[in-house]
Structure 1
Amino acid sequence: MHNDEDKLKDDYQLKPKKKSSKTIFSILITALLGLLNFSKLAVIGKLLFTLLKASKFAGTFISMGLTVVLYAQFYGWLFALGFVAVIFVHEMGHYLTSKQLGLDVSAPTFIPFLGAFIKMKTMPKSVREEAITAIGGPLAGAFITLVCIVLYILTNNHYWAGLAYLSAFLNLFNLLPFGSLDGGRISKAISPFIWVIGLVMALFLIWKLHAYILLIIVFFGIYEVFTMFQKKSETAQYLFVEPSFRLKIGFSYLLLISALAVLMIYSLDISKSFTDSLYR
Structure 2
Amino acid sequence: MGHWLEAKRQGLPVSAPLFIPFLGASIFLKEHPESAWREFQLAIAGPLLGSLGALGVYAVAVAEDSNRLRAIAFLGFFINLFNLLPVVPLDGGRIVTAIHPALWILGLVALLALVIYRPNGILVLILVFAAMELWQRWKTRHLAGSGAYYSVLPWQRLTAAVSYFGLAALLVVGMHATHVPHSF
Q: Give the TM-score taking structure 2 as reference length.
A: 0.91
Out of 126, 140, 150, the residue aligned to residue 239 of structure 1 is 150
Matched, 1:135 2:44: yes
Matched, 1:263 2:174: yes
Gaps of 5+ in 2: none
State, as a whole percentage, how many aligned pairs show the same letter: 39
In structure 2, do the counterparts of structure 1 residues 168 and 112 end up closer, same or farther at CA, with 3 Å as the change threshold?
closer
Distance apart, 1:161 and its partner CA: 0.2
Counterpart residue number, 2:162: 251
Structure 1 equivalent of residue 135 of structure 2: 226
Distance 1:200-1:118 versus aligned 2 partners, 3 A rule:
same
Structure 1 contact 202–214 (Cα < 8 Å) conserved = yes
Q: CA RMSD in A?
A: 1.8
Partner of 1:110: helix, strand, or coil?
A: strand
Return the letter of the residue paired with 1:195: W
Q: Which residue of 1 aligns with 2:53?
A: 144
Moved over 3 A (4+): 110-116
Q: Matches of 2:56 and 2:70 in 1, distance apart? A: 10
Shift of 1:115: 6.4
1:162 Cα shift?
0.8
**2:33 corresponds to 1:110:** no
Structure showing greater Rg? 1
1:154 aligns with one of 63, 67, 75: 63
- The Cα of 1:122 is off from its aligned counterpart by 1.8
Alignment CA distance shift 1:124-1:166 (3 Å): same
SS in 1 for 2:121: coil
**Residue 105 of structure 2, aligned match among 170, 187, 196:** 196
Return the TM-score normalized by structure 1: 0.61
Change (3 A) 1:113 1:265: closer
Q: Aligned equivalents of 1:201 and 1:161: distance in 2?
A: 28
Deviation at 1:217, TM superposition (A): 2.2
Any unmatched runs of 5+ in structure 1? 1-91
Moved more, 174-183 or 228-237: 228-237
Work out whether 1:207 is the aligned partner of 2:116: yes
TM-superposed deviation, 1:237: 1.6
* Partner SS, residue 32 of structure 2: coil
Structure 2 CA distance for partners of 1:248 and 1:147, relative to 1, 3 Å: same
Amino acid at match of 2:82: F
What is the alpha-carbon distance in structure 1 between the residues aligned to residue 21 and residue 56 of structure 2?
25
Secondary structure in structure 2 of the residue aligned to 1:104: coil
One-letter amino acid matched to 2:174: L
Q: How far has the Cα of 1:230 moved from its partner?
A: 2.8
Paired position in structure 2 for 1:47: none
**Residue 110 of structure 1: CA displacement?**
3.4
Q: 1:191 Cα deviation (Å)?
A: 0.5
Distance 1:135 1:211 in 2: 26
Instruction: Provide the C-alpha distance between the structure 1 equivalents of 2:15 and 2:5, rounded to a whole number of angstroms.
Output: 11
How far did residue 98 of structure 1 move? 1.3
Instruction: Return the offset for 1:241.
Output: 0.8
Name the SS for the 1:223 alignment partner: helix
What residue is the counterpart of 2:7 in the other structure?
A: 98
Partner of 1:166: 75
Following the alignment from structure 2 to structure 1, what is the Cα–Cα distance between the partners of residues 28 and 116?
A: 31
Conserved 8 A contact 2:104-2:134: no
